Amino acid sequence: MKIENRLEEIGIELPPPVKPVANYVTTVQTGNLVFTSGHGPVNMSGELEKGQLGTDMTIEEGYQSARLVGLGLISTLKDTLGDLDRIKRVIKVVGFVNSTPDFLDHPKVVNGVSDLFVEVFGDKGKHARSAVGMVQLPGGIPVEVEVIVEIED
């Protein structure tokens, strides 16, 4: 089944792809690898979610926010590649979690992205991953995620 159909089947609507506001771009391809910029959680209205784990956001809210970041990344990749079926494998995910010094559950937050990728791409969505705690993130977003994907030749 095509990834586009899979998205429809599981009722996923992608947010519009983001546009950088400075001298960088959302993706760069080298060989058959595509590197993305760090993405934040942008809702369907194009607004960035804000929050911090350990202060005003629960793990479940952080998980949903990370899932939203994942949807944005898929949207960006669709915009770049034209067809999501060109993705051969999600190689690497780094999840930066905006959190307090006493918050320890960064992986449970970043699972929001990881679960989405496996839900959408199946085994091709299984990636190497790092999850880490940040003192703060741009604009006060709770999660920033960057990925590397491999595309078909």
Q: Judged by CB under 8 A, which of 7, 51, 131, 142 binds a copy of itself? A: 131
- Nearest Cα to 56, choosing from 141, 152, 138? 141
Which pair of tokens denotes residue 140?
């006060």
Q: Judged by CB under 8 A, which of 33, 43, 44, 56 binds a copy of itself? A: 33
- Nearest Cα to 104, choosing from 144, 54, 52? 54
Rounded least distance, CB 2 to a copy of itself, Å: 21
Residue with smaller CB distance to a copy of itself, 43 or 130 = 130
Does the footprint of a copy of itself cover residue 62 (CB under 8 A)?
no
Does the footprint of a copy of itself cover residue 38 (CB under 8 A)?
yes
Binding positions for a copy of itself, 65-84, rule CB under 8 A: none
What does the chain come to in residues? 153
* Residue 121 to residue 119: CA distance in whole angstroms: 6
**Which of the ranges 2-10, 11-19, 66-74, 131-139 carries the binding residues for a copy of itself, by CB under 8 A?**
131-139
**Residue recorded with tokens 């705690």:** 133
Does the footprint of a copy of itself cover residue 11 (CB under 8 A)?
no
Does the footprint of a copy of itself cover residue 24 (CB under 8 A)?
yes
* Residue 119 to residue 105: CA distance in whole angstroms: 22
Does the footprint of a copy of itself cover residue 140 (CB under 8 A)?
yes
Does the footprint of a copy of itself cover residue 130 (CB under 8 A)?
yes
* Residue 81 to residue 14: CA distance in whole angstroms: 15
Count other C-beta atoms under 10 Å from residue 143's C-beta: 34
Cα 85 from chain centre: 17
Which pair of tokens denotes residue 54?
């350990």
Binding site for a copy of itself (CB under 8 A): 20-28, 30-33, 35-38, 89-94, 96, 98-107, 111, 114-115, 117-118, 125-140, 144, 146, 148, 150
